[in-house]
Each structure stands twice: as C-alpha cells, then as structure tokens.
Chains A and B, each alone.
Chain A
C-alpha cells in the first residue's frame, strides 16, 4: 500500500539526481541508476524483495543506505518520544485520579478544564510557548538544535531534549488525563468498590487494591495509541526544535522526493506502530485475566 501511495507522487525521482538542463542521455542514465525506468511491477518486486532482507535501499539524494540514516535518527526520536511518554504518564495518572475523586472540589474542576485546553492546543504552539518562556525569557534551556556528536555527550543531549520532552509530555498528558479521569469515574461507580468498602477497606485502600487494576485496562490501549501517535507525530515537535529525528527526515525526504527515504521511514514507523499495538495487547492480557480466557476461546 505504501508503495502505491508513493508512486502516485508526480515527478520522476531521477530528477532529484540531476541538475537543471540535463540532456536526454543523462536523464536515461539517472533513471537506470534509481530503477525508475523499469516497469512498475518490477519496481515493486525489487522493493518487496529487499524489504524481506531488511534492506531499505539507498537514498537517492545522499547515496547512503536508508537503514543507516534511520538508525541514526531513531537515537533522537525514540528517546524523545519515550521520555515525553513517561512525563505524560507522570502528569496524567495522579492528576486524572485526583480530578475524578475530588470532582466536587474546585481543583478537581480546574484540572479537567485545563485538560480540555490541552486537546485544543496544537503541539507546535506549546513548543513555541515553552521556547518563549524558558529559552527567551529565562534562558534556562536551548531553544533548539541537537549536539552534533549526539549521545556521546549525554548531558548536552539531555539538555537539548528538555523542552521538546516537556512539549510532548504536556500535550499528551492533557489528552491522557481525560481518559484516566473517565476510567477512574467508572471505577468509582462500580459495585466491587462499594463491596470492598462495605467489607471494611478504607477508601484509598479499596481504590488502590481494586481500582488500579480494573481502571488500567482501557488506559493501556489508549497508551498504545498515544505512544504510536507521538512517534509518528514527532515530525512537528522536531521541526519546532530543529532536532535531527525521524520526522524531520521524512519531511526533508518528501520535499526532495527521495522515495527510498520516505518509504523507509514509513515502513519503520508502521512496524513500530504495530509492535506498540501488540505490546499494549499483551499488557492488557497480563492485567486482566478475563481477556486471556477470551483469547484462548479462539475468538482472537
């Protein structure tokens, strides 16, 4: 499917190799080099064949193997997404539970109102605001960029990722918070919680003992979707902070019509998304034995 979508892009990729005003012979040579002179089905076979060998081809523009470039870029995107993800959980879970339990207090309402804001704010604007506050006004963090030598200088790399991680954490945290809140509300209204209370457990005790496990099941599947979105959506945040990650690679590749790079990035992201979905599924089964039984029943 990716392949079809990409071939719909007009313009011969060979053009990317040539300077303006190349003659017919040069064009033919370039087309041969990138393989765009072959019939479509042969191009597809080549593509599918090399995918099986985990060879994503070489970039039309830089001439380097796509997989190498992706690997280098993942060292930025994956830590960025994961740290943002952890921050989002740290924000969303306590605040979400608090806002559901204390819905009748002023701060309970305040938290859910602020989280409403969170889903209406575009990620990149949060990034710009954080830059304005922390980089421009207080000069605490750099406004963008990433150390040239990457993770060899860990302190500097972490320092560069501070604001981007905050951006992702805040936006994702806000949308996650709403799910945690509604899951907690479901738990609060449940019969088993009332039973536990009736059997003499204190309220926090009952909530921790029974609530967390029950409430976590829907949250885990949301977490999976959110993590996938963050990985794929990193393109915007990376642009705000000029980070050399997977997203900026995709953007550049689209601009340059560098098909192997576009294909490679999309292939790897799809793979990551599938893996995350699978992990979320497994985690849910670990948490909730009822899901395991259903799977054994052959209803997968």
Chain B
C-alpha cells in the first residue's frame, strides 16, 4: 500500500524535525531549571500576592492558595523534574548496565536466575515498586523518590543490557579478540559497551520521560518530595482542590510536564535514527 520511494524522504525529514523539537523542548526546560538557581520571579516560599489570584501582568500564571507565585513554583518544578529524571536514569544505568553485563557473562544457571528475577521485577509497574520503596524508607524525600525510580529503571536496563550484550558476545570478532589475548574486562570496554551504547542511550531517554511521569505521580499521591520542594505532581494535587476557582493551576504544570516528556521521547526517536540509520520506520 504505502509507496516506499516517497515515504523514505518524508520520514527522514520528519525525524530530523523530531530531534530538533525534542532538543528544543528539553533545552528550554534545562535553561529554566538552571535559571532558577540564580533567579526566580518571586520568592518561592512566601506569599507574594493575594490567594488564588487570576493571571495578571504581575503574576503571569496567577497565585496558588497560599498566595505564592505559580510561575515561580512551575520553574522550580522544572528543576525537580530534571533532577529526578537525571538521577533516576543515572542510578538505573549504573546498576542496570553492570548487572546486565555480568548476567551476559555468567554461567547458565546464574543467568537464568537473574533473568527470571528481572522478569518478575519488571512485571510490577514502576510506580508500585517505587511506592513500596518510598514506604520502606522512614520519610519521603526527593532522594528516596529518585532512588526508588532508579531501582525500578535498573531492572528494565539490566534486561535490555543482558540481551544486547549476549548478542555481541556471540560475534566472531569477540573470539578473535580473546584469542589475541584481550582480557574479558578489555572485551567489555572495547567491544561490548561501545556496541550496545547507541541502543541503550535511546532507552535512557525513554526511561527519563517515564521517571518524570512516575515522580509526578508519586508526588501527586503524597509520596514524593515534601514541601517546600516544588514538584509538578504536587502542584497539580494542590490545584485539584481549587479547580473550581483557579483552573489555571491545574493546567499549567501538566502542560510543562507533558512538554518535557514529549521532548524526551522525540529526542529518543531522533537518537534512534542517528544510532541506526538502517532502521526505516520508528514505532
């Protein structure tokens, strides 16, 4: 049905567009997050206007029920989201990649045990796993949330790494490399990791987006970073109660969140095309 000749060029265009838009969305978020380290429109912790003011020139997005500037909260939320995404993916990558590589090298039995354990862990939704880890720690904090999400991500990363690494290890050049005297560690760093890295990095970008959503859900449920850390999830939870009088508070943080996640997903799409030029069509 679909004429292949024309669709290849349109797809190429669509994908470089995806990369550009993705970079733009994530870039804006990063810029805003960095900006909040030096400057915010108002004091994030104290009231700067009346309660639940409508958007105005002074408060572009209005104020929340405590009279704090919503735009300021939103900007700090960007910082939280990026921190959570980066932290969770970093933890997930560190644990996941090492476990996955070890499993790929391990004996048959150890590998099977690891694979089965990972499958069970993955069957649990990330959010539920994170809820339990947060509950297991005494007090909810930003770091517990990051740790919890990182652990959940590590299971997914480990499974992917294991599969990818095994595929590389079957190649002839690994045997050749071993015969010419390269140690197993050398094989991992010289052949395995460089080969699986492109696919892994695409997955990291996707996991980043999922971590941001999961953190927002945790904060929404009251299991995330406690105040005064602004988080989009908690902003939404607080705004839900006042949605009758100030609907903007229930809309703006969501848009910010979706923009960041879509940005990350587009980035992943674009990265996939760079990583694998042979692949014609993305999902």
Interface of A with B (CB < 8 Å)? 1, 5, 8-11, 101, 103-104, 116-117, 119-125, 128-129, 131-132, 136, 143, 178, 182, 185, 188-189, 228-229, 232-233, 235-236, 239-240, 250-251, 254, 273
**Any A CB within 8 A of the CB of B225:** no
A280 to chain B, nearest CB (A): 13
Asked if residues B262 and A120 are in contact (CB atoms below 8 Å), the reply is: yes
A235 — which chain B residues lie within 8 A by C-beta? Answer: 127-128, 131, 221
What does the 1/0 interface line of B210-247 toward A look like (CB < 8 Å)?
A: 00010011001100000000000100100110011001
Please pick, from B128, B217, B233, B262, the residue contacting A117 in the complex, using a CB distance under 8 A.
B262
Of B29-37, B175-183, B251-259, the one contacting chain A is: B251-259
Asked if residues B240 and A128 are in contact (CB atoms below 8 Å), the reply is: yes
A10 — which chain B residues lie within 8 A by C-beta? Answer: 136-138
Asked if residues B243 and A101 are in contact (CB atoms below 8 Å), the reply is: no
Q: Which residue of B lies closest to A273 (CB)?
A: B123
A239 — which chain B residues lie within 8 A by C-beta? Answer: 220-221
- In the bound complex, CA of A130 to CA of B269 (Å): 29
A115 to chain B, nearest CB (A): 11
B247 — which chain A residues lie within 8 A by C-beta? Answer: 132, 136
Please pick, from B138, B209, B221, the residue contacting A251 in the complex, using a CB distance under 8 A.
B221
Asked if residues A117 and B243 are in contact (CB atoms below 8 Å), the reply is: no
Known A9-B136, A233-B127: A122·B213 in contact at CB below 8 Å: yes
- Which residues 119-152 in B have Cβ within 8 Å of A in the complex? 120, 123-125, 127-128, 131-132, 135-138
**Any A CB within 8 A of the CB of B84:** no
Asked if residues B236 and A124 are in contact (CB atoms below 8 Å), the reply is: yes
Asked if residues A125 and B254 are in contact (CB atoms below 8 Å), the reply is: yes
Asked if residues B283 and A182 are in contact (CB atoms below 8 Å), the reply is: yes
**Any A CB within 8 A of the CB of B63:** no
Q: Which residue of A lies closest to B137 (CB)?
A: A10
Count of chain B residues near A, Cβ 8 A: 37
Asked if residues B254 and A128 are in contact (CB atoms below 8 Å), the reply is: yes
- In the bound complex, CA of A136 to CA of B236 (Å): 16
A101 — which chain B residues lie within 8 A by C-beta? Answer: 1
- In the bound complex, CA of A10 to CA of B138 (Å): 7
Please pick, from B138, B213, B243, B257, the residue contacting A131 in the complex, using a CB distance under 8 A.
B243
- In the bound complex, CA of A8 to CA of B148 (Å): 14
Known A103-B2, A120-B262, A182-B283: A236·B217 in contact at CB below 8 Å: yes
A-B contact pairs, 27 of them (CB 8 A): A1-B120, A5-B136, A8-B136, A9-B136, A10-B137, A103-B2, A104-B2, A120-B209, A120-B258, A120-B262, A121-B254, A122-B216, A122-B217, A122-B254, A122-B257, A124-B217, A125-B216, A178-B283, A182-B283, A233-B127, A235-B127, A236-B217, A236-B221, A239-B220, A250-B131, A254-B131, A254-B135
- In the bound complex, CA of A124 to CA of B220 (Å): 8
If over half of A's interface residues share one DSSP class (helix, strand or loop), that class is named, otherwise mixed; here it is helix
- In the bound complex, CA of A258 to CA of B213 (Å): 27
- In the bound complex, CA of A9 to CA of B251 (Å): 36
Asked if residues A128 and B136 are in contact (CB atoms below 8 Å), the reply is: no
- In the bound complex, CA of A6 to CA of B156 (Å): 22
B35 to chain A, nearest CB (A): 24
A276 to chain B, nearest CB (A): 11
Chain A to chain B: the 8 pairs with minimum beta-carbon distance, closest first: A120-B261, A125-B254, A254-B135, A120-B262, A122-B213, A9-B136, A128-B250, A8-B136
A123 — which chain B residues lie within 8 A by C-beta? Answer: 217
A113 to chain B, nearest CB (A): 10
**Any A CB within 8 A of the CB of B265:** yes
A129 — which chain B residues lie within 8 A by C-beta? Answer: 250-251, 254
B216 — which chain A residues lie within 8 A by C-beta? Answer: 122, 124-125
B2 — which chain A residues lie within 8 A by C-beta? Answer: 103-104, 188
A228 — which chain B residues lie within 8 A by C-beta? Answer: 123
Known A5-B132, A120-B265, A122-B257: A136·B243 in contact at CB below 8 Å: yes
A188 — which chain B residues lie within 8 A by C-beta? Answer: 1-2
A136 — which chain B residues lie within 8 A by C-beta? Answer: 243-244, 247
B250 — which chain A residues lie within 8 A by C-beta? Answer: 128-129, 132
- In the bound complex, CA of A180 to CA of B253 (Å): 31
B243 — which chain A residues lie within 8 A by C-beta? Answer: 128, 131-132, 136, 143
Asked if residues B258 and A121 are in contact (CB atoms below 8 Å), the reply is: yes
- In the bound complex, CA of A184 to CA of B249 (Å): 40
A189 — which chain B residues lie within 8 A by C-beta? Answer: 1
B234 to chain A, nearest CB (A): 11
B232 to chain A, nearest CB (A): 9
- In the bound complex, CA of A178 to CA of B283 (Å): 8
B251 — which chain A residues lie within 8 A by C-beta? Answer: 129, 132
